[in-house]
Amino acid sequence: MRIIARNIVRFIVVILLQVLLFDNIMLNGYLIPYFYLLFIILMPFETPGWLLLIAGFLLGFSIDLFEHTPGMHTAATVFMAFIRPYLLKLFGPRDGYEPDTFPRIFYYGFTWFLKYAVIMVFAHHLILFYLEVFSLNEFFSTFLRIILSTLLSVSVIVLSQYFVFRK
């Protein structure tokens, strides 16, 4: 029950931080750190797939409501939630994840977390930005934006691991 309450609070906090703080940080005119992705990244290992998809939908839909982007964040966040179990299995230790641990730097180290976060954020940004332009005419400029935004978002997410989610 405590984990459920903690995740509800985290859900609200990441949305508020994204909308009130991070959406107002814009680098180069179009790079925004997407901090709200941290919610899906940090969900417990035992979270069932159906709950991940629902959480991804609600999270993306909430951001879409605030940013007036009809379904783009929802689609990208649901895709991110969909691939999460496969990535965790791919990067998982041979003996499986320790009980009562979470996907954080504290438990599994910097390298493990960085690989996991980069792929999750990259997958999200790939869907989001190509849905945004909805064209392949600007393929390379959009891909550059995906790479730069991934680096920015992952930097903020990794920093949060050291300052906010220490244990």
Nearest CA to 127 out of 64, 72, 61 is that of: 72
158, 78 in Cβ contact below 8 A?
Answer: no
Structure confidence at residue 167 (pLDDT): 54
Express each pLDDT in 32-68 by its tens digit.
899 999 999 999 998 999 999 999 999 999 999 999 9
pTM score = 0.92
What count of Cα atoms within 13 Å lies in the side-chain half-sphere of residue 88?
A: 24
Express each pLDDT in 90-127 by its tens digit.
998 888 888 878 899 988 999 999 999 999 999 999 99
For residue 18, give the 3-state DSSP assignment.
helix
15, 5 in Cβ contact below 8 A?
Answer: no
For residue 31, give the 3-state DSSP assignment.
strand
**Distance of alpha carbon 99 from alpha carbon 96, whole angstroms:** 9
13, 49 in Cβ contact below 8 A?
Answer: no
